[in-house]
């Protein structure tokens, strides 16, 4: 079930507008930012970035992200 939910969320990154309305901008030390999207119904968050042609999945974490204020 976790793999299926994770795959669904990653696919949604590829087809939807970025960032999504519930996505959170987060700091990735030492000098980078990324966006985070929660996997529905799971304690998983995908950190990602994108350019004009690709979406980059940077990592998947099990603790909620701390938004950039």
Three-class secondary structure assignment of 9-66? HHHHHHHCCCCCCCCEEEEECCCEEEEEEECCCCCCEEEEEECCCCEEEEEEECCCCC
Q: What is the pLDDT of residues 13-55, one digit of tens each?
A: 999 899 999 999 999 887 789 999 999 999 999 999 999 999 9
Report the number of distinct structural domains present in the chain.
Answer: 1
Residue 50 belongs to some domain of the structure: yes
Residue 67 belongs to some domain of the structure: no
pTM, 2 dp: 0.89
What range defines the domain where residue 36 resides?
Answer: 2-61
């Amino acid at each position: 079930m976790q793999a299926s939910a994770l795959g669904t969320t990653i696919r949604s990154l590829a087809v939807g507008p970025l960032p999504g309305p519930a996505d959170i901008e987060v700091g990735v030390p030492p000098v980078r930012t990324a966006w985070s999207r929660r996997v529905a119904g799971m304690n998983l968050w995908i950190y990602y970035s994108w350019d004009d042609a690709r979406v980059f999945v940077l990592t998947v974490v099990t603790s909620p992200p701390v938004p950039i204020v």
